[in-house]
Amino acid sequence: MALLVMKFGGTSVASIKHMENVAARVRQEKQAGNEVLVVVSAMGDETDRLVSLAEEVQDQALDTRRELDVLLSTGEQVSIALVAMVLLKNGIAAKSFTGGQVAIRTDAVPNRSRILEVDADKLRVELAKGVVPVVAGFQGIDEAGTITTLGRGGSDTTAVALAARLDASECRIYTDVEGVFTTDPRIVESARCLEQISFEEMLELASLGSKVLHTRAVELAGKSQVPLRVLSSFNDAPGTLITREEDLTMEAPLISGIAFTKNEAKLTLLGVPDLPGIASTILGPISAANIEVDMIVQNVSADLSTDFTFTLSREDYDEAATILKQVAATMGAREVTGDSSIAKLSIVGVGMRSHAGVASKMFEVLAAESINIQMISTSEIAISVVIDEKYLELAARALHSEFKLAESTA
Amino acid sequence: MALLVMKFGGTSVASIKHMENVAARVRQEKQAGNEVLVVVSAMGDETDRLVSLAEEVQDQALDTRRELDVLLSTGEQVSIALVAMVLLKNGIAAKSFTGGQVAIRTDAVPNRSRILEVDADKLRVELAKGVVPVVAGFQGIDEAGTITTLGRGGSDTTAVALAARLDASECRIYTDVEGVFTTDPRIVESARCLEQISFEEMLELASLGSKVLHTRAVELAGKSQVPLRVLSSFNDAPGTLITREEDLTMEAPLISGIAFTKNEAKLTLLGVPDLPGIASTILGPISAANIEVDMIVQNVSADLSTDFTFTLSREDYDEAATILKQVAATMGAREVTGDSSIAKLSIVGVGMRSHAGVASKMFEVLAAESINIQMISTSEIAISVVIDEKYLELAARALHSEFKLAESTA
């Protein structure tokens, strides 16, 4: 008998009617002889409603993070109660549990706690009785018994943590998309839903802008070797299985997907004295202003100076440019230049490891379309380039076609 | 330094703006040197919203009581988080606690649990640090850690239980009325807000239809000798202090208040064989149908038969009449009669104990107005009569005037 952890996001439990659909899926798995544990998020836009109540109190300077967690955790508590009721109504033995009730122990950092341990005994007892435990995602308690929440992607993380602790055969994340696509189908019509992908590739895709799953949940699944499946709760397609590279049932394709993010900007400091420590001298004040930096490229220089470029979210561009001009003045750099209409595009694939020439093929494709590459950065299974934003769609389609991503490798 | 327990009902925490008002009251008491503990209900009609979600699941036969408690308890949890935030914003150290977090232990009866014990240590630690604990009313946990709720009047009961356990000097129930009135001000214009009243009188008034406080909270306060004050959260009037008879600072008036309920009906079984056990023979089937009976009157009979009359809620009249006709047939009673347009009116006062003639004065007043009394029932501090509904206003005004209830005795 296999144990399945089934996690349903906000859109999948948005109403009682949606919950009936959840019950149908649970019944199907129970009838197939599986044990089932359900994890749920807050209904639809309930979290937004709660956040706006908190915002009405209005005081940025105030530390109300402890109370914010007490408030937000009610969203998932409403869901577990109602989903358990709907399961009961459908003749399925079920019981709801808050994060605290199944001892999802976290550190004491409010609003973005990390799970330390899970006491699975209570859940094992219920599963052994044939009961479907319905557990609140996103929440836990710290050592003092204070309610905590896990931050973005929290419910997925809860599901993976429970699946790992209970040795589940699969952790299924039901969402409003069909799975992980080779690229954004809104941009490239021929984008295809992947059948399988490795944890490593998914991590690169997620962190590079394909926001189907939060990086944190994928990391934890990879670390605990829990097969993860992303699938739609609105149809019966099998979705995408995210698993260990060695468990993929087909040979890894050259590349698996193309990720991209618009809304990017870049800033360059020209003629920086090429001395140890300049990176931190430049980025220290940026980071102190709570601005997140993405790609960083520094070129070797012919003279004793170098050029230093980084990308960041477009909304932080003006503030960062102001800071950078002050930094340039104090360190004697020649000039600050920037561009706030760029995009980042990445190709990801474990196949790159064993196949040379992926990078040069990518550059050839872009050159054939006369797309200038402004920055390049690489990891073992990903190559990222920065290009002018207006070429993004063209680049994505050309690469998707050239690497034959529309064709299944199965 | 005195400890005050301040309980705010749903209308008093209906919005963030209302909660600012709560903060102002708390600050006032803190500045006066008091320790303060706050108990809150769910915001405005939040409980109704949650109940209607549960009703959407629609299945009367289904036992979803455990999950209903998980659902309903979120209403108060939202309130404690927001009220704590608003207190913090107003510079008042505060911390929210769910029923479970301060170990409000109840029995395992869902939806209408009774409080067994309260672990006050956690609260004492916070109070000693100058922190205002904001505790969720209406909820607790049973021995298994399951969330329970206390049923109607639950938040008041939570406040009184905490006040008793912490030896508070006063438990204040802030609500949307000014206090306990001599009678319903919508009927009798000269009705006056009482300054003081004894626990016993309040119990009679509450159970007789003045629904300011739930009987359960008054009972617990009386048992634990916690002075209870009902007051408006919308003005600065002192409200009504409910305390021990011996602590009343003025001589008890003859009567303190007039309570009444419309929407009553009565059923009479005429010519019942006067034998032991007939009351249970008659009322057994009524109670088995979950119909609540209020006044019961049985008259001594001249021959070997008797007449048996009881009152009940008007909405149960038809069902009870049908049941009673069957009972009459099996037990050989002569006839079933009934009236579904009656009202019950009661005068309440501890002063009755030491003053003879209250009952006869009441009957005289009603006779002077040509109001026929259909049933009479008495307790040590209350006299209740059933009259035709159409005379209710007239009777209430006449008695209110005759017993000089509009005049303060202070």
- Domain of residue A320, CATH code: 3.30.2130.10
pLDDT at B389 over 50: yes
Which residues are B377's β-sheet partners? B384
Task: Give the pLDDT of residue B331.
Answer: 87
Say whether residue A139 is in contact with chain B using an 8 A CB cutoff.
Answer: no
**Of A151, A176, A201, which residue is a domain's last?**
A176
Q: Is residue A280 located within the same domain as residue A390?
A: yes
B338-358: pLDDT as tens digits: 999 999 999 999 888 877 788
Q: Is residue A27 located within the same domain as residue A140?
A: yes
Is residue B187, in this structure, part of any structural domain at all? no
**Are B77 and A81 an interchain contact pair (Cβ–Cβ within 8 Å)?**
no
Which residues are B345's β-sheet partners? B260, B385
Task: Give the pLDDT of residue A398.
Answer: 96
**Nearest beta carbon to residue A56 from set B16, B50, B74:** B16
**Are B70 and A57 an interchain contact pair (Cβ–Cβ within 8 Å)?**
no
Residue A303 burial (CB count, 10 A): 7
B81-116: pLDDT as tens digits: 999 999 999 999 999 999 999 999 999 988 889 999
Q: Is residue B159 located within the same domain as residue B31?
A: yes
Say whether residue A54 is in contact with chain B using an 8 A CB cutoff.
Answer: yes
B228-273: pLDDT as tens digits: 999 999 999 999 999 998 888 776 678 899 999 888 999 999 988 8
Q: Is residue B21 located within the same domain as residue B160?
A: yes
**Are B85 and A98 an interchain contact pair (Cβ–Cβ within 8 Å)?**
no
* DSSP tag of B157: H
Say whether residue A62 is in contact with chain B using an 8 A CB cutoff.
Answer: yes
Query: A217 and A153 in contact (C-beta within 8 Å)?
Result: yes
Task: Give the pLDDT of residue B410.
Answer: 46
Q: Can you read off the two tokens belonging to residue B110?
A: 């869902």
pLDDT at A65 over 80: yes
Distance CA B83, CA B80 (A): 5
Query: B173 and B213 in contact (C-beta within 8 Å)?
Result: yes
Minimum Cα–Cα distance from A61: chain B residue:
B89
Residues in chain A closer than 8 A to B76 (CB atoms): none
Q: Is residue A154 located within the same domain as residue A264?
A: no
ipTM above 0.85, yes or no: no
**Nearest beta carbon to residue B78 from set A57, A71, A86:** A71
Task: Give the pLDDT of residue A353.
Answer: 80
Say whether residue A50 is in contact with chain B using an 8 A CB cutoff.
Answer: yes
Is residue B409, in this structure, part of any structural domain at all? no
Task: Give the pLDDT of residue B253.
Answer: 76
- Mean pLDDT score across all residues of chain B: 91
- Percentage of chain B exceeding pLDDT 70: 97
Q: Is residue A268 located within the same domain as residue A393?
A: yes
CA of B155 vs chain A CAs: smallest distance (Å):
18
Residues in chain A closer than 8 A to B95 (CB atoms): 66
Give which of B47, B67, B88, B139 to mutate to test A binding, by max A Cβ within 10 Å.
B67
Confidence of residue A410 (pLDDT cuts 50, 70, 90): very low
pLDDT at A8 over 50: yes
Residues in chain B closer than 8 A to A144 (CB atoms): none
pLDDT at A381 over 70: yes
Q: How far from A5 is each of A31, A169, A372, CA to CA, in Å? A: 15, 8, 46
Residues in chain B closer than 8 A to A54 (CB atoms): 81-82, 85
**Are A81 and B62 an interchain contact pair (Cβ–Cβ within 8 Å)?**
no
Higher-scoring residue by pLDDT: A354, A241:
A241
Task: Give the pLDDT of residue A31.
Answer: 96
Task: Give the pLDDT of residue B409.
Answer: 59
Q: Is residue A172 located within the same domain as residue A69?
A: yes
Q: Can you read off the two tokens belonging to residue A305?
A: 């100076």
Q: Is residue B282 located within the same domain as residue B149?
A: no
Instruction: State the total domains in chain B.
Output: 2
Residue A40 — φ and ψ, nearest 5°?
-130, 155
Alpha helices in A58-136 (DSSP H): 65-89, 121-128
Residues in chain B closer than 8 A to A64 (CB atoms): 84-85, 88-89
pLDDT at B301 over 80: no
Residues in chain B closer than 8 A to A86 (CB atoms): 57
Give contacts of B 174-203 with A, CB under 8 A: none
Angle at A136 between CA A135 and CA A141, to 5 degrees: 105
Query: B168 and B226 in contact (C-beta within 8 Å)?
Result: yes
Is residue A223, in this structure, part of any structural domain at all? no
Is residue B193, in this structure, part of any structural domain at all? no
Average pLDDT over residues B373-384: 89
CATH assignment of the domain containing B85: 3.40.1160.10
B173-218: pLDDT as tens digits: 999 889 999 998 889 999 999 999 999 999 888 766 667 888 889 9
Q: Which of A266-280, B30-44, B128-142 has the lowest mean pLDDT?
A: A266-280
**Of B127, B153, B176, which residue is a domain's last?**
B176
**Nearest beta carbon to residue B82 from set A57, A85, A98:** A57
**Are A85 and B74 an interchain contact pair (Cβ–Cβ within 8 Å)?**
no
Interface A–B counts its CB contacts (< 8 A) at 103
Task: Give the pLDDT of residue B210.
Answer: 63
Q: Is residue A128 located within the same domain as residue A269?
A: no
Query: B260 and B345 in contact (C-beta within 8 Å)?
Result: yes
Amino acid at B315: E
Say whether residue B132 is in contact with chain A using an 8 A CB cutoff.
Answer: no
CA of B344 vs chain A CAs: smallest distance (Å):
41
Q: Is residue A123 located within the same domain as residue A267?
A: no
Is residue B371, in this structure, part of any structural domain at all? yes
Query: A226 and A217 in contact (C-beta within 8 Å)?
Result: no
**Are A59 and B95 an interchain contact pair (Cβ–Cβ within 8 Å)?**
no
pLDDT at A370 over 50: yes
Task: Give the pLDDT of residue B357.
Answer: 83
Which residues are A297's β-sheet partners? A309
* DSSP tag of A253: P
Confidence of residue A106 (pLDDT cuts 50, 70, 90): very high
Q: Which of A37-51, B217-231, B256-270, B351-365 has the lowest mean pLDDT?
A: B351-365
- Percentage of chain B exceeding pLDDT 90: 71
**Are A85 and B77 an interchain contact pair (Cβ–Cβ within 8 Å)?**
no
**Are B81 and A63 an interchain contact pair (Cβ–Cβ within 8 Å)?**
no
Is residue A184, in this structure, part of any structural domain at all? no
Alpha helices in B90-244 (DSSP H): 121-128, 154-165, 199-207, 215-224
Q: Is residue B133 located within the same domain as residue B264?
A: no
**Nearest beta carbon to residue B70 from set A70, A81, A89:** A81
Residue B17 burial (CB count, 10 A): 9
Q: Is residue B142 located within the same domain as residue B264?
A: no
**Of B176, B199, B217, which residue is a domain's last?**
B176
Say whether residue B139 is in contact with chain A using an 8 A CB cutoff.
Answer: no
Average pLDDT over residues A317-323: 95
Residues in chain B closer than 8 A to A50 (CB atoms): 78
Q: Can you read off the two tokens belonging to residue A276?
A: 């140890």
Give which of A70, A97, A104, A132 to mutate to test B binding, by max B Cβ within 10 Å.
A70
Is residue B378, in this structure, part of any structural domain at all? yes
**Are A89 and B57 an interchain contact pair (Cβ–Cβ within 8 Å)?**
yes
Q: Which of A375-379, A384-388, B159-163 has the lowest mean pLDDT?
A: A375-379
Is residue B141, in this structure, part of any structural domain at all? yes
Task: Give the pLDDT of residue B130.
Answer: 96
pLDDT at A302 over 70: no
Distance CA B362, CA B340 (A): 24
Q: Supply the range of the domain harboring residue B89.
A: 3-176
Range B148-174 burial, b when 16+ CB lie within 10 A, else e: bbbbebbbbbbbbbbbbbbebebbbbb
Minimum Cα–Cα distance from B95: chain A residue:
A67
Distance CA B324, CA B337 (A): 10
